[in-house]
Each structure stands twice: as structure tokens, then as C-alpha cells.
Amino acid sequence: MDFALSPEQQAIREGVAALCARFDEAYWLQKDREGGFPHDFHRAVAEAGYLGICIPEEHGGSGLGITEATLMMEAIAASGAGMSGATAVHLNIFGLHPVVVHGTKEQKARMLPPIARGEVKACFGVTEPTTGLDTTRLKTRAERRGDRYIVNGQKVWISTAQVADTILLLARTTPIEQCRSPADGISLFYTKLDRTRASVREIEKMGRKAVDSNEIFFSDMEVPVEDRIGEEGKGFRYILHGLNPERVLIAAEAIGIGRAALKRATEYARERVVFGRPIGQNQAVQHPLAQDWMALEAAWMMTLQAAWRYDQAMECGAQANAAKYLAAEAAMKACQNAIMTHGGFGYAREYHVERFLREAMIPWIAPVSPNLICCYIAERVLGLPKSY
């Protein structure tokens, strides 16, 4: 059993950290205050060749695994960029995996290189306001008419749709009542986001102002048949291939935020003197921070195990879900303790830790809630009856 990173993996993490050092915490604090997509950060990541880390080499990427992507996303979040930096590039890392696996040779050659080069920004259209995680019940329709599909419906919580050129879209092509299984009759498309037929409305939210979240309303948006990925009606099963790596990457990002908060708290505890001694000398301050380090390290081990299992083509659903759960819980606690270590200053924006707490809530909530992960583990690992 070898827990050491390979020289190549270590170089990836160090290279990403060096790149992120050009975008310090002051940069992300300004983005948190003013908003606006971090185009310069996205461009720098693209120019360094990291956007295509999981895209095959023949299509302009590095052809590496989810393990390497995990190291990359943890390093971005841990730099102080948090979820603002991580989600600016998140979809490029795993989002087009269905194209890699199920796309035709022509589709791969057409769709993947622009993503790897950073020339195109994509968004992911799955969630709907009335269905949530019950994806098989989605209502957005794509009706085929000749060599086109006509899309009507609504999506919600779509990140980067304000700046996206394309969308990976899940829509029902056969009414559910005509399908043998609710998972049938859903198709996957990767196509241009036609803003003349897609109205994008930003959602105001408590954090991550630099990366927009949106509702999208489709009104007779045309999608060429050649933009359908794989067979008609099989799209739901195609996106399942991307769920486990998404959970792994979300876990890595949560751990990165937790480590950024713990670093700031530890530095402050060493420097802040009260009653003639640094507050870090007090066990009431020491112990929560020590517990945070242990929780983050344990979550990191589970995250690396899940990534390794995925890269080895092994079953990793339980590990990926557990990693996401443990990492999000550890990150939330680390951010809370970082604020308490700072006392009143923890509530001040200039100390960054309140920003980390607001952004840590994203991997805690999404893309699947802690309660549903517990349901998954109870049913799939412990063999208990399905509870929902």
C-alpha cells in the first residue's frame, strides 16, 4: 500500500499551486464583493494546459485520471480561491466525460479540443425546479422534427450560464408514460446555448458571487441531431458515468476550502496575543483546530481512495459518496472553527474566513444532500430497505 504521490502528481499539484499564487486572496475577495466571472483566472488555467487534464491526448487534453484532477481541484480551493476558483473550471474537468465515453469520433474531434484550450465555456443543464434530484421526472422536452430537436422547458441552478457558449443538456425525448422505465426516454445533448431561444436569469445568492448561478427558460430552442450524445433515450444512463467523479472533485474542493480556513486560523492563533500569551497556547483553541486537521486528513484519504478506484475502473459509488459527505462536513466545521478562532474579526470580510464558510455550504448542499448520501450508504452498503 503506497500513499505517496508520484513525481508527476506532485508536479501537478505544485504547478497548480504556483499558478494560483498569481491570484491571491485579495483577488478573490474583490471578486466576492464585485462579482464578475474570473476570465483571467480561467484563461491562465487554460494556457497552462490544466483545463483538459482528463480529456484524451488525441483531443487536446492530457489524458490523465480523476486522481490528478482531484489534486488539481484541491490545490485551487486551498489557495484561497475556494469554490469561486474551483467552479470556474469545474465543468471542464468532468462535465464532458459523457462525450469522451459515448460521443462519436466526429463529436469528440469537434467538441473536446475547444474545451481543453479554454476557447469555449460550457454549462450543465440537468436540475429542474420541480424535480430536484428526482432526475427521471424532469419535464424539459426535446421533440424531434426532422434533423432538429425542439427544446422547451426550464432548468435551475445552472452555473456559468451567463458566460457559457455551450450547454450539456438533459431533456426528455419520449413521454415518461410511454417508457418501460422512468430512466428511459431521456436524451443527452451538447450544443450551442442559443440565447435567442434560451432566457438566462441569474439567481442572487449568499456566496460565490464570481461564478453565476441561473435559471434557464427554453422556448423552441433548436438542437441539431448531430449534437445528441449517444442513442436517443439513453441520456440518463450516460450522465451516471459522471456522477462519481463529480462527487470526488466536489470532495477535493471542500477539503481545499477547509484547509485554507484551517491555515488562516492556525496563523491567527499563533500571532494573536491575549492576556499576555498567544491564544493558540490555550487548549480550547488548539483542540478544535487539531480535530479539524484530523477530519480533513481522513476525508482526503477517502477522496483519494475513491479517485483511485474510479481510475482503476472499480466500483466506487460508496467511496465517492462517502468522500463527498466526509469532506463537506469537515470543511464546514473547519470554517466555523476558523471564524471562532478569529473571534469578532472572523465576521469581517477582510479576514476571508467568513467567505470560506459561505462557500463551504456549496459542497455541503450540492450536488446531493448529506441526508441522501446517508440513504445511499444505508441501502447500497448496509443492505437496509430503501427509505425514499
1 pLDDT more than 80: no
Residue ranges of E strands in the chain: 122-125, 141-145, 148-159, 166-172, 186-192, 198-202, 213-224, 228-229, 273-274, 277-278
Mark whether 85 and 131 lie in a shared domain: no
% of the chain exceeding 90 in pLDDT: 94
216 pLDDT more than 80: yes
Share the mean pLDDT of the chain: 96
Last residue of a domain, one of 234, 262, 283: 234
What CATH number does residue 161 fall under? 2.40.110.10
pTM of the model: 0.96
Mark whether 249 and 346 lie in a shared domain: yes
Q: Is residue 369 in some structural domain?
A: yes
Q: Is residue 83 in some structural domain?
A: yes
The average pLDDT across 353-372 equals 97
pLDDT tens for each residue of 217-267: 999 999 999 999 999 999 999 998 788 999 999 999 999 999 999 999 999
**CA distances (Å), 267 to each of 120, 191, 273, 378, in order?**
39, 47, 12, 40
Q: Is residue 166 in some structural domain?
A: yes
Mark whether 298 and 343 lie in a shared domain: yes
Domain of residue 161, residue span? 122-234
76 pLDDT more than 90: yes
What CATH number does residue 22 fall under? 1.10.540.10
Q: Is residue 44 in some structural domain?
A: yes
Judge contact between 101 and 112, C-beta under 8 A. no
What CATH number does residue 242 fall under? 1.20.140.10
Last residue of a domain, one of 62, 89, 117: 117
Task: Say how far apart CA 159 and CA 208 lie, in whole Å.
Answer: 10
Report how many domains make up the chain.
3
Mark whether 258 and 372 lie in a shared domain: yes
Pick the range with the lowest mean pLDDT from 45-54, 113-122, 234-243, 363-372.
Answer: 234-243
Task: Say how far apart CA 104 and CA 115 lie, in whole Å.
Answer: 17
Cell of 151: 427544446
Mark whether 229 and 282 lie in a shared domain: no
Mark whether 341 and 206 lie in a shared domain: no
Classify 384 as helix, strand or coil. Answer: coil
Mark whether 308 and 353 lie in a shared domain: yes
The average pLDDT across 155-167 equals 97
93 pLDDT more than 90: no
- Report residue 94's pLDDT band, with 50, 70 and 90 as the boundaries: confident
**CA distances (Å), 259 to each of 75, 103, 296, 306, in order?**
10, 37, 7, 20
Task: Say how far apart CA 357 and CA 139 lie, in whole Å.
Answer: 34
Q: Is residue 1 in some structural domain?
A: no
**pLDDT reported for residue 91:** 86
Last residue of a domain, one of 200, 234, 268: 234
Mark whether 185 and 273 lie in a shared domain: no
Mark whether 15 and 87 lie in a shared domain: yes
Task: Say how far apart CA 95 and CA 133 lie, in whole Å.
Answer: 17
Q: Is residue 283 in some structural domain?
A: yes
Residue 274, strand partner residues:
277
Mark whether 38 and 146 lie in a shared domain: no
Task: Say how far apart CA 306 and CA 2 lie, in whole Å.
Answer: 15
Spacing of C-alpha 295 from chain mean position:
21
**pLDDT reported for residue 352:** 97
Mark whether 247 and 217 lie in a shared domain: no
Residues 6+ apart with CB under 8 A from 363: 83, 250, 251, 253, 254, 257, 324, 327, 328, 331
195 pLDDT more than 80: yes
Torsion angle defined by CA atoms of residues 378, 246, 74 and 347, in that order, rounded to the nearest 10 degrees: -70
Q: Is residue 388 in some structural domain?
A: no
The average pLDDT across 346-374 equals 97
Q: Is residue 386 in some structural domain?
A: no
Mark whether 131 and 206 lie in a shared domain: yes
The average pLDDT across 196-213 equals 97
DSSP string, 113-138: HHHHHTS--EEEE---TTTTT-GGG-
